[in-house]
Amino acid sequence: MTSEEHRDTRRMVFGGVAEAYDAGRSGYAEPMAAEVLAYADLGDRGAVEVGAGTGKATVPFAARGVPLVCVEPDARMAEVLRRNTAGHPNVRIEVGDFEQWQPGGRRHGLLFAASAWNWLDRERRWDLVHAALAPGGATALIFGPHGIHDAGLRAALADIGARHGVKSSPHRFLARDLSGGEPGSWDQRWPEAECRRDGRFTELRSVRFGRDLRYGTERYLRHLNSLSAYRVLPAESRARALDEIGRLLDAHGGGIDVHQVTDIFLARAR
């Protein structure tokens, strides 16, 4: 299996747990949408969202009246997205891969992707973004990693994952790793360097918002169960890992305290 085929397989694992994904994921810091819209300066232009999922980033934009086209590859995720945006007639949902999506004559003032950028074809994604944007249109790439405050708990969680075959562990960060760094410093795949090499974008900017969150045991297990690193495990291995994590968190007061950052990369089409 090529790396592209592997990525295609992993990005389609979320639909099987669409309800758990919606219930377990925390979304993004409250100022995120306002920050992106202030940069985009849309006027009467609309926006397109890539990999909208169940709407964790969609709803804050929809609630502000932005005309949205949401492109989501998994029909099961899109069904939950429809429910979550039912009160927003400004939202249009199109099911399919962004790589095959056709903007037609539509050009948007904003393209955004929340925790979806790394699933896109790395050879084509900047071409696709540029083709979807009007001249001067903005792109916003949004990420939401978290770090754990308790170092001992973080190590124990990482150990459980490793023993059951979890790769790309969500437990690799301590809270201080994130709260003290710059936007994107947690991952060498931060898109700024790639965007600069592309050369068709200007006004590059990175923004960070941080917040502390408390997950109860059950919610944190739903969160982990919605992550691709856990979804790709054999069902028995995943069940054993989540059971061990549940017992560990119950023994630590019934939950976990994390620091989540919402990191945003912004750029404008020349």
CB 53 within 8 A of CB 98: no
- Mean residue pLDDT of the chain comes to 93
* Residue 3, pLDDT score: 45
pLDDT at 181 over 90: no
Q: Is 107 left (phi over 0), alpha (psi -120 to 50) or beta?
A: beta
Distance (Å, whole) CA 261 – CA 204: 19
CATH topology of domain 3-269: Rossmann fold (3.40.50)
Banded model confidence at residue 11, pLDDT cuts 50, 70, 90 = low
Between 259 and 106, residue with greater pLDDT: 259
Distance (Å, whole) CA 209 – CA 34: 12
Distance (Å, whole) CA 55 – CA 72: 10
pTM of the model as a whole: 0.93
